[in-house]
Amino acid sequence: MSIDKETVRKVAKLARIAEPEERLEPLARELSGILDWIEMLQEVDVEGVEAMASTVEAQLPMREDVLTHDYTGGGKPEDIVANAPKTEDHFFVVPKVVE
């Protein structure tokens, strides 16, 4: 499959990517090469090859999901917000972001 300069210009505009005019032709060649390579991969016979979800066949060790700190009993809220630039009643104060 071949991509021309006009196609690159159109895709760049749709993607809102500013590409200088002198880069369009090299990009067209590069993208055409990538698509040619993909077409070559589609010709590979994969009959009988099992699909892989990962290249690493390892079982990760699982750990027990246990509570290691007392976050429910009040803990030390002063320590939690100690480095915050602004707090109020042990809560972080942040600027409003929604109007």
Considering only CA atoms, which of 32, 23, 34, 1 is closest in space to residue 9? 23
pLDDT in tens, 38-95: 999 989 998 888 887 777 777 888 888 877 665 555 567 788 888 999 999 888 999 9
Number of domains in the chain: 1
**Running DSSP on this structure, what letter comes out for residue 68?**
-
User: Domain range spanning residue 27?
Assistant: 5-42
pLDDT in tens, 34-48: 999 999 998 999 888
Q: Say whether pTM exceeds 0.95.
A: no
Q: Is residue 10 part of a domain?
A: yes
Q: Is residue 32 part of a domain?
A: yes
Q: Which residue has the tokens 């699982």?
A: 62
Q: Is residue 73 part of a domain?
A: no
Percent of the chain's residues with pLDDT above 70: 91
Q: Is residue 26 part of a domain?
A: yes
Is the CA virtual torsion 54, 30, 11, 44 positive or negative? Answer: negative
Q: How far apart are CA 49 and CA 42, in angstroms?
A: 14
Q: Is residue 29 part of a domain?
A: yes
Q: Is residue 38 part of a domain?
A: yes
Q: Is residue 30 part of a domain?
A: yes
Amino acid type, 57: E
